[in-house]
Amino acid sequence: MIELSVGELGSLLRTRKVSPVEVVGACLRQIERLNPQVQAFLTVTGESALAAARTAEEEIRRGRYKGPLHGIPYAPKDLLATKGIRTTNGSRVTAEWVPEYESTVTARLQAAGAILVGKLNLLEFAMGSGQRGLVAPARNPWSLAHSPSGSSSGSGAALAARMVPLTIGTDTGGSIRGPAKSCGVVGLKPTYGRVSRYGVTALSWTLDHVGPMARTVADVAAMLQVMSGADPRDRTAARRAVPDFTKTLGAGVKGLRIGVAEGYFFEKVEPEVERALRAAMGELEKLGAVRVVAKVENAAICSPALGVILGAESATVHAERLRDSAGLMDPLVRERLEANSLYSAMDYIQALRVRTVMMEEMRRVFAGCDAVLLPAGNPAPLLETEIVQTDLPPAVPAAPRPDTFNLANLTGIPSLVLPCGFTAGTPTLPIGMQLCAKPFGEATLFRIGHAYQGVTDWHRRAPKF
């Protein structure tokens, strides 16, 4: 049962061939069995989840079926406020915080009948080192010695370990898509404004995104359908009609122009990853997609600009915590926030000007294609290596890392990551590809990703324990 997709489970639940109690129980048993090793969950809400499952069972029995997520278990990154349930932000600073309100995203999922089974591990305040947070770092189910990537580390690990079929992550500089790539699952950073951020602890107001994660593109689409829409409590939530993503999900890719972004984006990509990406594009061409070249000018300036914006905004967000609770923070978080407070207004304004330039650049790029294919980075690094590199002082440069996520965060365009292969060595690790579209073009990404998953089985593979 834990191997089934949400689409498969939903059909069984709707026809009462399976009970929500059985589904939730199977997830709780998997969490109990594997969480001591994987460390994906910070909090497990077993009793309330089973109670909600019994309610869902009765609702479905009485013909009050709410839709494809009714009776489906889910878990959010512990950055989203859940009323009456501890929300730690992965930090000792807020370890005992129990919100009196609910985030818009979790409220919408629960209104659709989804069942909360717990809260997921993360890097502290979505910016920690992964070593000195509230608990031990989450580990990659494909190899416990490797990182699941962050900061939505638990969100990716829980999916790969089949602990839960749906999770929520947040993405300021790749924090949904990195775990999706490293854990072999699907993660979407939606268009800025597509999903409300009310009740989500901020890191950077103009860069933060909340997005769905699952094992199939169809499941991510179903989740986004429920999560999206205007919200009077979040002025950045777009007042824009949410399309029915299921209508075009199976429309195929025939005639779609997919631009392969050459040059900068492939400079640091390992040969094995590049081969997998070329093969993935080949599969899409067999399905009728048209390959074009997507040349993104000035892509290298995205990371410095994003770093200034994220730095200045995060220092403002956490100024009070830094003043009152610095001793409880991961030393790296404290150091970053202290350094970030030194950015000047001129630095910040110049970075905003760069953002405008890159938004115009992407408008030009999408005039010539429907989507852009990019690497999602190299396979997951060893966890201890990643932590050591993260903690290196500035005078000792860490090994170069692929930078393929910041473009989408800086410009606010939607970006989808899904598995497209595995490494040949031991251990076998997932390889991911990234697709970007114009603002509010999630439906196009879903069409491409769903078509690709229809002719490949990478998303069906599971780690062995």
Q: State whether residue 205 is helix, strand or coil.
A: coil
Task: Provide the pairing of β-strand 290-293 with 209-214.
Answer: unpaired
What DSSP string describes 437-449? Answer: -STT-HHHHHHHH
Q: For every one of its 465 residues, what pLDDT tens digit does the chain have, with 9 covering 90 and above? A: 899 999 999 999 999 999 999 999 999 999 999 999 999 999 999 999 999 999 999 999 999 999 999 999 999 999 999 999 999 999 999 999 999 999 999 999 999 999 999 999 999 999 987 666 788 999 999 999 999 999 999 999 999 999 999 999 999 999 999 999 999 999 999 999 999 999 999 999 999 999 999 999 999 999 999 999 999 999 999 999 999 999 999 999 999 999 999 889 998 899 999 999 999 999 999 999 999 999 999 999 999 999 999 999 999 999 999 999 999 998 889 999 999 999 999 999 999 999 999 999 999 999 999 999 999 999 999 998 776 555 544 443 343 444 899 999 999 999 999 999 999 989 999 999 999 999 999 999 999 999 999 999 999 999 998
**Catalytic residue among 151, 204, 228, 314, which?**
151
- Angle 243-183-399 from CA coordinates, rounded to 5°: 115
**Active-site choice (175, 182, 196, 204):** 175
SS (H, E, C) 338-388: HHHCCCCHHHHHHHHHHHHHHHHHHHHHHCCCCEEEEECCCCCCEHHHHHH
Separation between Cα atoms, residue 396 and residue 373, nearest integer Å: 33
Catalytic residue of the set 77, 181, 189, 438: 77
End-to-end CA distance of the chain: 16
Which residue is associated with the tokens 């730690």? Answer: 88
Q: Which residues contact 192 (CB under 8 A, 6 or more apart)?
A: 206, 209, 236, 412, 439
Q: How many CB atoms lie within 10 A of CB 271?
A: 7
Report the C-alpha gap between 146 and 126 in whole angstroms.
19
Report DSSP state, residue 257: E
Report the top-level CATH class of 6-460.
alpha beta
Kindly report the backbone phi and psi dihedral angles of residue 373, in degrees, each rounded to the nearest multiple of 5, phi listed first: -100, 130
Whether 151 is a known active-site residue: answer: yes
Q: How far apart are CA 298 and CA 121, in angstroms?
A: 35
